[in-house]
Structure 1
Amino acid sequence: MESFESSDGHVIVRLDRGDMALESIERACEEHAVDTGAVVTGIGTFSTLNIHYVDRTDLPDEQSDRNVDLELEGAWEVTDINGVIANGEPHLHVTAFDGDRTVGGHLEEGCEVNVLGEITIRKIEGLSLERRAGEQNVSQLMQR
């Protein structure tokens, strides 16, 4: 992983074969002091795709009871990664295609880059956000 910062607050992250996507984005946020921001673009290929998604309309208090976890191997073409960074912590979603199906959900740790990845992070100055548990234990953005 290598990252580059422009004078206007954009951080470009290059992911190389074998890098872990979310872990590398977290590292880039730390290295470039991204407290509040947005991942505005993300593309690449993964050999391991770990995501979760909510598959129900009733929301039990325990997140493990409302989420479906997918751990998928193979050649995944990542068509989009985006989301918000609050208090330095990314909350990202991903869409990927393996030639037969398209899946999407919350990006989890352990997504290994197959060929490459390119991520654009936009720092947002003058705003400090964090996530706090809200109704039904749903993580909500709040101003600090």
Structure 2
Amino acid sequence: METFETNDDHVIVRLDSGDMALESITEACEEHDIDTGAIVSGIGTFRNLNIHYVPTAEFPDEKSERNTFLNLEGAWEVGTIDGAIADGDPHLHVIAYNGDETVAGHLEDGCEVHILSELTIRKFDGPEMTRRPNEKNVGTLQLK
């Protein structure tokens, strides 16, 4: 991974083959002191894709029943990675294609960069944000 900070509060992140995507993005946030921000551009290729998504229109009370996790092997062309960063923690979504199917979901740890990935993070000066559970135990953006 290599990062480059611009003069207008952006951080450009280059991930190389073998880098772990979400883990490296989190590391870039730490290195550049990004507490609140957003991924404004993200593309790349992954060797595997780990995501979760909400599979039902119902809203189960049990948090463990709300998500379906997919660990997908093979080469994935990433069309977009985007999302918000609150309290230094990226909450990112991804859309990817493997030649047969397109999938979308919440980016999880363990996605290894295949060829490359390039992202741009926009740092925000304020307000500082965090995520706290709401009445349905869903982490929602709130002021710190």
TM class by smaller structure: over 0.9
SS in 2 for 1:26: helix
Percentage of matched positions with identical amino acids = 63
The more displaced of 103-112 and 133-142 is: 133-142
Native 8 Å contact 1:60 1:136 kept in 2 = no
Instruction: Tell me the C-alpha RMSD between the 2 structures.
Output: 0.7
What residue is the counterpart of 1:14 in the other structure? 14
In structure 2, stretches of 5+ residues that fail to align are none
What residue is the counterpart of 1:35 in the other structure? 35
Q: Which amino acid aligns with 1:38?
A: A
Q: How does 1:8-87 map to 2 (within 5 A)?
A: 8-87=8-87
Give the total of aligned pairs: 144
Using structure 1 for the length normalisation, give the TM-score: 0.98
Shift of 1:57: 1.9
CA distance in 2 between partners of 1:94 and 1:135 (Å): 27
Residue 124 (structure 1) aligned with residue 124 (structure 2): yes
Q: Which amino acid aligns with 1:69?
A: F
SS in 1 for 2:136: helix
Using structure 2 for the length normalisation, give the TM-score: 0.98
In structure 1, stretches of 5+ residues that fail to align are none
CA distance in 2 between partners of 1:125 and 1:23 (Å): 23
Shift of 1:92: 0.2
CA distance in 2 between partners of 1:101 and 1:7 (Å): 39
